[in-house]
Structure 1
């Protein structure tokens, strides 16, 4: 048991010792590597002069013996290109840069053995190693990468293709003779992908070529696509915007048919719209029946029907042709019977109803005005418009100028005048009551009985005054004709009394059914009260 533990301890000690040795070697190598200072990378264009600097920063306790510059191309073996020993002159072995490489400054020193290469070439690109031979540390080195730059010539172009079913190259982008190689990408909404290949160019340059492939369709024609080239020599990527060019046969659509071609309709039109690449060469209209109706006029891509009839009830076909092929479309016209547009019918009906309502309103207004005018005319007013109402008991002729009647002697009552008196009821004078109108009647005494001589206008005067309507004029004409008696022998004047609520039934100064004609030609009231 003790022996087994001792063996394990011995193995562990050996492993720890080995790890410590490796760590010390690495640390020593790292420490020594940090003392040789160089530039990690130097870039240059062809024909320029480059400086490759090198220095040993801390030589305390170390003896510097010699410095050697080594060139290591990307492909090939390492080659010594410059050697310096303090006890000898600088030496430049045979190499691709011999005659163009030298130490700087001259003479060189072990503390700073930098070199320069003039008229650099693209083939000079690679790793340059500055290596010190020291004692007791051994060799220590620093590595510089020389990068040769060449600005490429970039370009992009569109490849014109025909629409198809297989992927083809539709665009190409190229970065010619660049160093290092350029990076190419594509930006587009088209459904495809780009492939890039590189090719070695002259003087160690690189040419990059990228192609964009896709299955071209008519819808892809004119779509945007851009080639973007990024290179170290450029401040920003260079973009080349392009548009895809896809050729295809015409795509045709007939527009203008609204499914409302009715008999008698005029000036309807069909338009043949076509898209094509290249442009269309011809447009042809025809019908499936083979005969074009007489009422049809064709002007390029437009077909106009002057008047719809039964001959237009056919299928119209439009054919468009270009270099790639022919495209066509057709529309079948169905001729219908004329129909009234519901919207127009509603407008017409509304206009008719509105007109009728307006006429009815005007007629009603006219009727009201006529009725009111007649009612005003039927209310016979003495003195043309006062609030008095006159009751006529009998008819008479026009009185003479002296108020005595006409036909007999002066001062007597002639046989030709048997007018009864006119009594006036003055509604505006409640205290006056019922009495004779003083300015029209003069009382006379004949044989002990009072007589009243009236100056009331006759029916003829009333007719001439235009104050009565036709019905009342006829009534007064009849009264004039019946006036053939010598005198009125009906006794004293008659006063007709009527309750106030009956006044609404009066038409003028009469009731509708109150008056009654007598044999002697007079007219009396059925409800009159004799005084």
Structure 2
């Protein structure tokens, strides 16, 4: 076991050393990246002036010796484009940018050695490195990527094709001379696939082309298809809307025959309808037998009109439509009948619905009439609220005088309870004149005095008239009621309307 561990020890030592070396490199790079500050990315268009900034953020304990700007194109070798030494003037070595690159300040400083490039070109795109020579750490650097932008020229078009069975290109879309490369996509309900291709353009630009392929059918003709272009220089996506142009031979159908052409029927027509791309240039009618058209038949464009049906139109009519792609035929066989077919009546559901509708309508009308009649009867009978205010009750002097002249009450010995009950009455009970609507001295039509027809009480006016249909109170005597109780002593109506006491 010990021998096995001793053999593995050198391998472990090598692994630990390798890890320490990698960690040291990463730490050094991280430190240098923090000390030299640059912009990660700068965008520019051709012909503009761009500034590439650089600064050494922490110079404590470090001596800055020299600054060198290095240009590294995407495809090519690195080249020095600007050098700054504190003891010498700025220097601009030979490079593709010579004459267009310079330090930003007229008296550049090692702490902020920013540069500018005038009349920038598409070929200037690439990596720019600001590298410091320092002591004691050595070289430290920061990197800026210059990205050149070029707005592309976008276009799209639909390709006219003939319907077939193989995939073909039905639409093209192109974004030419852009930087960076544009992104293209298709939007359509048609069933197809898209292809994408890029090729370099002038001055480091890129041209992107996309094609939409599908198996063209007549049903796809006129469908919407759009190409959407996305590019960094555009505020929003640019969309090109188109319609597929699929050419196909005519698709023909004949309409107008209802299988009820009978002898003597007039003005019946057949119409030859055709859908085609391109549009048809000819429509011809003929008979299947090749015979001439009957005399009662008139032809105009795609319409065949029969002025009067007879046995001569008992044949097969053929419509032939042609366009640039091809010719299509369609036919219909006419059967001339001796008599017309009976017309179909309304369906059972329609009849039932009509009956139900009539019943509902009659019910509504009947209900409305009944409610109107009831309202009218109630109005005639006066069942509603009173439409007038009755006059206030008045005292009838004639009645009171008659009450005084009536027979006096019996002695106290005969009815002690009644005398005790009425002893509290200091004055005669006032009598309400319920006969205000009649003259005091008038008699009724039968010659009976009014006083004998009306009784005096404080009861509602509905009980004042014995002829009223309502039942009078129990203390009112009528000729219809049997008088089987003991009559009380005669008491003047002016004294009280209370019935006499009863002994049990």
TM-score (norm 1): 0.62
How far apart are the structure 1 equivalents of 2:238 and 2:116?
34
How far apart are the structure 1 equivalents of 2:193 and 2:139?
53
How far apart are the structure 1 equivalents of 2:87 and 2:299?
106
Number of the residue aligned with 2:485: none
1:14 to 1:325, Cα distance in 2 relative to 1, 3 A: closer
- 1:101, CA displacement in angstroms? 0.4
1:342 to 1:175, Cα distance in 2 relative to 1, 3 A: closer
Number of the residue aligned with 2:322: 321
Number of the residue aligned with 1:306: 307
Number of the residue aligned with 1:389: none
Is it true that 1:107 corresponds to 2:138 in the alignment?
no
Aligned residues: 348
User: Deviation digits for residues 452-472 of structure 1, max 9, x if unmatched?
Assistant: xxxxxxxxxxxxxxxxxxxxx
Tell me whether 7-16 or 92-101 shows the greater mean CA deviation: 7-16
- 1:322, CA displacement in angstroms? 1.9
Number of the residue aligned with 1:413: none
How far apart are the structure 2 equivalents of 1:115 and 1:145?
14
Whether the aligned pair in 1 keeps the contact of 2:260 and 2:341 (CA below 8 Å) is no
Tell me whether 326-335 or 35-44 shows the greater mean CA deviation: 326-335
How far apart are the structure 1 equivalents of 2:86 and 2:346?
119
Number of the residue aligned with 2:172: 172
Tell me whether 271-280 or 72-81 shows the greater mean CA deviation: 271-280
SS of alignment partner, residue 234 of structure 2? coil
Whether the aligned pair in 1 keeps the contact of 2:260 and 2:340 (CA below 8 Å) is no
- 1:276, CA displacement in angstroms? 1.6
User: Deviation digits for residues 212-234 of structure 1, max 9, x if unmatched?
Assistant: 22222222221111111111000
**What runs of 5+ residues in structure 2 fail to find an aligned partner?**
352-504
How far apart are the structure 1 equivalents of 2:227 and 2:17?
61
1:198 to 1:15, Cα distance in 2 relative to 1, 3 A: closer
How far apart are the structure 2 equivalents of 1:303 and 1:324?
25
Is it true that 1:68 corresponds to 2:57 in the alignment?
no
How far apart are the structure 1 equivalents of 2:119 and 2:206?
20
**What runs of 5+ residues in structure 1 fail to find an aligned partner?**
351-531
Number of the residue aligned with 2:414: none
The 5-angstrom pairing of residues 329-340 of structure 1 reads 329-339=330-340
Is it true that 1:280 corresponds to 2:286 in the alignment?
no
How far apart are the structure 2 equivalents of 1:3 and 1:29?
41
How far apart are the structure 2 equivalents of 1:7 and 1:196?
59
Number of the residue aligned with 1:511: none
SS of alignment partner, residue 97 of structure 1? coil
1:74 to 1:253, Cα distance in 2 relative to 1, 3 A: same
- 1:6, CA displacement in angstroms? 4.9
Number of the residue aligned with 1:85: 85
How far apart are the structure 2 equivalents of 1:8 and 1:162?
76
- 1:17, CA displacement in angstroms? 4.1
- 1:181, CA displacement in angstroms? 1.1
How far apart are the structure 2 equivalents of 1:163 and 1:16?
71
1:7 to 1:61, Cα distance in 2 relative to 1, 3 A: farther
The 5-angstrom pairing of residues 29-178 of structure 1 reads 29-178=29-178
How far apart are the structure 1 equivalents of 2:52 and 2:277?
60
- 1:342, CA displacement in angstroms? 5.7
Higher strand share: 1
How far apart are the structure 1 equivalents of 2:345 and 2:59?
110
Larger radius of gyration: 1
- 1:328, CA displacement in angstroms? 1.6
Q: What is the RMSD of the two structures over their aligned residues, measured on CA atoms?
A: 2.2
How far apart are the structure 2 equivalents of 1:340 and 1:181?
73
